[in-house]
Amino acid sequence: MQAISRSAAIAAELRDEILRGQYRSGERLPSERDLAERFSVHRGAVREALKQLEQLGLADIRHGGSRVAPVEHASLDVIEHLLGLEDPPDPTIVDQVLEALSGLFMMSARLCAERATDEQRTTIYALVDRLLSDDIEANERMRLTRELGDRFVEASENPVLQMIRRGMKMQFMDRLPVPETPAPHETRAPHLHRLRDAMETRDGAAASEAIYQLTRAFRKNTLDSITAERDLRAAAGSRTS
């Protein structure tokens, strides 16, 4: 058990070094011997750590040594670690994650508008109406938004979308920052009304466009919030140094 936990700790440290760019794509990682000396362990623990990196898609193990694989070839598991490298997280990474989630949200909304049952539509109307309220806290708004996404995927009747959504929720969605102040009500409300209308008329294209506009506003609000917090921390750090 101790050897397993040690190899996991080594893998985690090397993983973060790769994600921070200390090793570039295609670059050779240190040898097993060098890593064993660095971490004061047997080479077996290093070998197991490298296998874990390979399973994440961050390392390519071949005869003669291990090389860093391109991050874009890695598994979804890596996104959680990318988001956790900094506090607040890198706004570029957050934006890329939100952009990908937006695409999933848009596709599932389109299919939902076209395929949902009357019962499913009733549930969605209730969620949209609640989101139209301006008296809910940020965490509750995020919970309702995620539940709306779940209902879209459920009504899409597409099991692959359901698997992707479930995988994303399990891996990294809880790592995403939640702005304390939402986008202005006057920005969100028109798109929520258009979404509700699209669901009523079974207009998939209109539902997708409404989600695009909503997620676009959310992305901007989130990035503005992260950037402001990072600037505040940087300023506080410069005052104390």
Q: Give pLDDT, residue 108.
A: 97
- In tens, the pLDDT along 56-74 reads 999 999 888 899 999 999 9
Q: Give pLDDT, residue 51.
A: 96
Phi, psi angle pair for 15, to nearest 5°:
-60, -50
What angle (nearest 5°) sits at the alpha carbon of residue 105, between those of residues 101 and 111? 150
Instruction: Report the C-alpha gap between 185 and 135 in whole angstroms.
Output: 10
Q: Give pLDDT, residue 2.
A: 53
The residue extents of the domains of the chain are 2-73, 78-240
CB distance 157 to 111 below 8 Å: yes
CATH entry, 78-240, from 1.10.490.10, 2.60.40.730, 1.20.120.530, 3.30.360.10: 1.20.120.530
- Cα torsion 106, 150, 121, 156 to 10°: value is 60
Q: Give pLDDT, residue 227.
A: 92
Instruction: Report the C-alpha gap between 53 and 77 in whole angstroms.
Output: 11
Which long-range CB contacts under 8 A does 112-115 form with residues at least 24 apart?
112/151, 112/152, 112/153, 112/155, 112/156, 112/199, 112/207, 113/198, 113/199, 113/202, 113/203, 113/204, 113/206, 113/207, 113/208, 114/202, 114/204, 115/155, 115/156, 115/157
Q: Give pLDDT, residue 42.
A: 94
Q: Give pLDDT, residue 170.
A: 67
Model confidence, pTM: 0.85
CB distance 222 to 88 below 8 Å: no
Which long-range CB contacts under 8 A does 52-55 form with residues at least 24 apart?
52/7, 52/8, 52/11, 53/11, 53/14, 53/15, 53/18
What is the CATH topology of the domain spanning 2-73? Answer: Arc Repressor Mutant, subunit A (1.10.10)
Report residue 202 as tokens. Answer: 């079974």
With a cut of 50, which residues of the chain have pLDDT below it?
Answer: 1
